[in-house]
Structures are given as C-alpha cells and as structure tokens.
Amino acid sequence: MTHSILDIGHRPVKSCAGYLSLGLMLALVCFGVSPQPAYSADKEKGQQISRVIAKEMTAAQKAMQAQQWAEAIKNLEAAETKPGLNAFDKKTIFDFKGFAYVKLNNLKEAQKSYEEAIATGGYSPEDLAKTIRLLFKVTASTQQNAKAIEYGKQVADSGQATPDDLGIMAQLYYLQKDCKNSAIWADKAVAAARKAGEAPKENLFQFKLQCASDAGDSPAMAAVLVDLIRLTNKTNYWNTLLRIERQDEREDHNTLMLYRVMYDTNSMTAGSDYIEMAQLLGDAALPAEAQTVLEKAMSTGLINDQQKERTNRLLNSFKTRAEADKKGLSQLDAEATKNPAGELDVKLGEVYYGVGDYPNAITALNRGIQKGQIKHQDEGYVYLGRAQVAQKNFPDAKKALAGLKGVPNISPRVLKLWELYADTLGR
C-alpha cells in the first residue's frame, strides 16, 4: 500500500492517539487496561489455592509485592511442576505469570501465560473479559495483527469496547490492507467517540483518506477531507481538498472562487497558484488585491527563479492599475451610491477590500446586496464575509457567507467550500 497522502501506517507513534507501536505498559495506561492478577477477585467467591502449592504461591505473592518479578516467576514455575493441580490452581499460576511478564515487558511470555490461563476455563466472566482485552492490546502492540483482530472482535462482542479499542481495530485492518473493514471500524470508533462526548481521533479519518487515495477515488477523498477539516482545520487538508475540487473546474469565475478559499485558509503553497490567482484577479478588474497576492507569494519565498521575471512584470502592472483605482475611489463611491442597482456597490466593495479598507468595503457591499441587481451575487456575499473576517467579526462573516445559499445558479462546489470555511471561522 503506497502512501501518497500521508505515511500513516508506519509512522513512529508518540502518543496514545497513534494506538500501535506503543510500549505495552504505556499502551495499557493509554487504553484503560490495568493488568492485575485475577486471584483476589476469584478468592472472594470462595475459591482457594490447593495446599500443595500454598508455599510457592505465598512466596510468589511476596516477591510480586516487592516488585521482584523474576523471583516471582521462579516460584510460580515451581508451583507449576507440582502434581494434582486443579483448573483454578493452573489459572492462577498462569495469570500471575502473565502479570509478572508484563512487568518485565516480556510480551511473548506474557501472552503465552495469559492464553494458557484462559485455556484452563478458570476465569470468571468478568476477569475473562479483562484478560481478553489485555491480550488484544498485547497482540496489537507486538504487531500480531491477525490475532489482535480476533481478540478485538471478542472485546467488541462483549460490549466493553471503548472508542480507542475500535480505533485500534481500524488501524489493524488498515495494516492488513483491508480498507473495507478499516473504514467500517473507523466509522464505529468515530460514532462511539461522539456518543461519549469526545472528539474522534484524527487518524481514524486518515486511514480512510489513504485508502481512497490508493484507490484513486477523488470523491471519497474529498468527503474524508471535509471531515478532517471540520475536525482539525489543518491547512494541508484544505490544500489537498481544494486541489481535488479545482481539477474539474472549467469556469474562471469559479476557479477564482476556489483560489480565494485556498488563499484565505493559508493553504496555498505553490508560487504558480499565486500567479494564476493574481492573473484572474487582474482579469476581474481587481488589481490591488492581485498586487497583495503576488507580494505575499514573493515575501514567503514561493516564487522560484524561473517565475521571478514574469511575477515582477505582473506586479508592476498591477501596482500601476491599483494606484489608478485608489485615485478613482471617491468618484466610484459617489456613482455607486446614486445608482439604484447594486452592481457598482459590490464592485466598489471589492475595490475597498483590495486596498485594505474593510469598514468601507462592508458598507458598500451591504448597500449593494440590499439594492440587488448584481451580476455575480455570490461575489457580494463572499467579499462581505471576507471583509468581516478581516475585522475579526466572525458571527457577521458567517451570516454573510450563509447568504450564498440563496444565490441562484451558484456552483455547488463553490457553495460547499465556502460553507465549510464558514464552519471553521473563529476556531
């Protein structure tokens, strides 16, 4: 399985959120599994160790209390050799050995001991469920993926699975290159987390994203990216989503709308994108904004040597045109105010936005939207929202962008992306 979007399958894990590749004791703490010998719980039910191994078991318990794990195992092995052991004796010996081996971080022997304890049939239902869950974590952390999946199914069937348990199952299936089941368990983990009032783990969506990427399924990728943006609002997810959406866009008006989202989410990372956006802004008679876009690209070092001559030529042209627009702002404002249609007001608001005069942009755009008769009504709402964002007035920005729903013939793609952007404002 290639990793064209994110190398998530084999990345070193540094927190509980990554689920696997954790040290066992850290994993058990992360996932709420506290390995304890089951003997004390069973003893309360009247079960007793046979007298034949009382000496060895007492010595083993004392060694464990002193955290002398190797000594404890030595005594437990001595007890194991005694004749006449019943199922409860064997279960207790193996259970104690499993606990001691966990403390020694000897996962192979811990697993063997716990599985032998289960085979005796001596566990109570409660302790059996705890032990299976512990084995689920042991086998997952030691990359026994197929075996861990079988234990995980038992944990899930018991009704005791946590959102993290379900997330481990999603990752295990992902590592098995079983994208269908990985997605099923990821969805279960997301639903369980939300039901518990928790934010879902980011990597649950990353599994689905990588699988969609490997399959070349752009619509599926876009759907997962929307979920990831709602969850994290990370610029790399915005960048990938907007590049997918831009691939099939053929209208310059809508392409510029997508570039505006990319620019406003700080997810534009290629100098060529800044250049194309600036050219489209210039074609739309917005040279001041085009100038700002190119200056940002140059200041961030995104314009390479081959692009510098062209970029400087464009920038000088936009500067000249922007100065002319600034000088004509008063006259354009007067004409727009008198005009009964809102088209000039919206254009005036866009020019004010381009020169950084956001209060006047808001005034002009609101006036134009109220008048109506606007050629591109979507631009009126978008620039009003952008101007409000520049003023850090996120509630009014969201209200402005919500107006896009009522724009006739708006591109569904453009509407979806600006609505998603509005959902992230103020986060």
Both tokens of 204, joined, read 């649950």
- pLDDT for res 118: 96
Question: Which of the residue ranges 17-21, 109-113, 127-131, 231-235 would you say has the lowest mean pLDDT?
Answer: 17-21
Contact of 344 with 332, CB cutoff 8 Å: yes
- pLDDT for res 36: 61
Query: What are 76-80's contacts with CB under 8 Å, separation 24+?
Result: 76/100, 79/53
Contact of 232 with 202, CB cutoff 8 Å: yes
- Average pLDDT on 78-103 reads 94
Query: Residue 305 above 70 pLDDT?
Result: yes
- pLDDT for res 6: 36
pLDDT bucket at 15, cuts 50 / 70 / 90: very low
- pLDDT for res 31: 40
Query: Residue 40 above 80 pLDDT?
Result: no
- What CATH topology corresponds to 18-160? 1.25.40
How many Å apart are CA 54 and CA 73, to the nearest integer?
Answer: 15
Residue 178: which of 203, 215, 141, 143 has the closest Cα?
215
Both tokens of 362, joined, read 């808001």
How many Å apart are CA 222 and CA 230, to the nearest integer?
Answer: 12
In sequence order, what DSSP letters do the residues of 185-225 get, joined into one string? Answer: HHHHHHHHHHHTT-PPPHHHHHHHHHHHHHTT-HHHHHHHH
Contact of 73 with 54, CB cutoff 8 Å: no
In sequence order, what DSSP letters do the residues of 394-420 get, joined into one string? Answer: HHHHHHHHHGGGG-TT--HHHHHHHHH
- pLDDT for res 295: 95
- pLDDT for res 10: 31
Buried b (16+ CB within 10 A) or exposed e, 154-163: bbbeeeebbb
Contact of 288 with 361, CB cutoff 8 Å: no
Give per-residue pLDDT as tens, 329-375. Answer: 999 999 999 999 999 999 999 999 999 999 999 999 999 999 988 98
- pLDDT for res 29: 37
C-alpha 298, offset from chain centre: 31
How many Å apart are CA 139 and CA 108, to the nearest integer?
Answer: 9
Contact of 49 with 80, CB cutoff 8 Å: no
Return the SS3 of 168: helix
Give per-residue pLDDT as tens, 170-194. Answer: 999 999 999 999 999 999 999 999 9
How many Å apart are CA 96 and CA 102, to the nearest integer?
Answer: 10
- pLDDT for res 249: 87
- pLDDT for res 411: 94
Question: Which of the residue ranges 15-29, 121-135, 361-375 would you say has the lowest mean pLDDT?
Answer: 15-29
Backbone angles phi, psi at 15, to 5 degrees: -150, 170
End-to-end CA distance of the chain: 34
CATH 1.25.40.10 boundaries in the chain: 18-160
The region, left, alpha or beta by phi > 0 then psi within -120 to 50, assigned to residue 41 is: alpha
pLDDT bucket at 23, cuts 50 / 70 / 90: very low
Query: Residue 224 above 50 pLDDT?
Result: yes
Kindly tell me the burial class for residue 418, based on how many C-beta atoms sit within 10 Å of its own C-beta (0-12, 13-18, 19 or more): buried
Residue 149: which of 111, 123, 182, 179 has the closest Cα?
182
Mean pLDDT value across the chain: 89
- pLDDT for res 99: 95
Share of the chain above pLDDT 70, in %: 89
- pLDDT for res 4: 37
- pLDDT for res 28: 46
- Average pLDDT on 243-260 reads 93
